[in-house]
Amino acid sequence: MKQPQTEKRVWEIIQKQAQKSGIVIYEYSNAGNHLHLLIRAKKREFYNRFIRSITGLIARAVRQTERGRPLGKKFWDSRPFSRIVEFAGGD
């Protein structure tokens, strides 16, 4: 996910889905094989919608495949790891 073209596409996916899902992104980092996001979701359903959409879209963008045409192997090793944090960020 660190190839320049892919990295740009991953960021575009995250931004677009955040806007559609009512998510505010405070921090973002692409580590190549995983992502770090500090986000704010006003409702759990917004978070669930966001994570579900970005995981599928990112996998398809990186593997350069389309929906309904799987490559036969898993892209993600495990489920998204998340934790609730409290910080003194903007609103």
Q: pLDDT tens digit string along 25-43?
A: 999 999 888 899 999 999 9
- Where helices occur in 1-91 by DSSP H, the ranges are 4-21, 44-63
Residue 71 pLDDT > 80, yes or no? no
Assign 3 a pLDDT band (cuts: 50, 70, 90): confident
The whole-model pTM stands at 0.78
Per-residue confidence (pLDDT) for residue 86, from 0 to 100: 78
Residue 57 pLDDT > 80, yes or no? yes
Strand, helix or coil at 40? strand
- Tell the residue number behind the tokens 């994570």, with chain if given: 51
- Tell the residue number behind the tokens 């990186």, with chain if given: 62
Per-residue confidence (pLDDT) for residue 16, from 0 to 100: 97
Are the CB atoms for 71 and 43 separated by under 8 Å?
A: no
CA dihedral 43, 54, 34, 8 (to 10 degrees): -120
Residue 53 pLDDT > 60, yes or no? yes
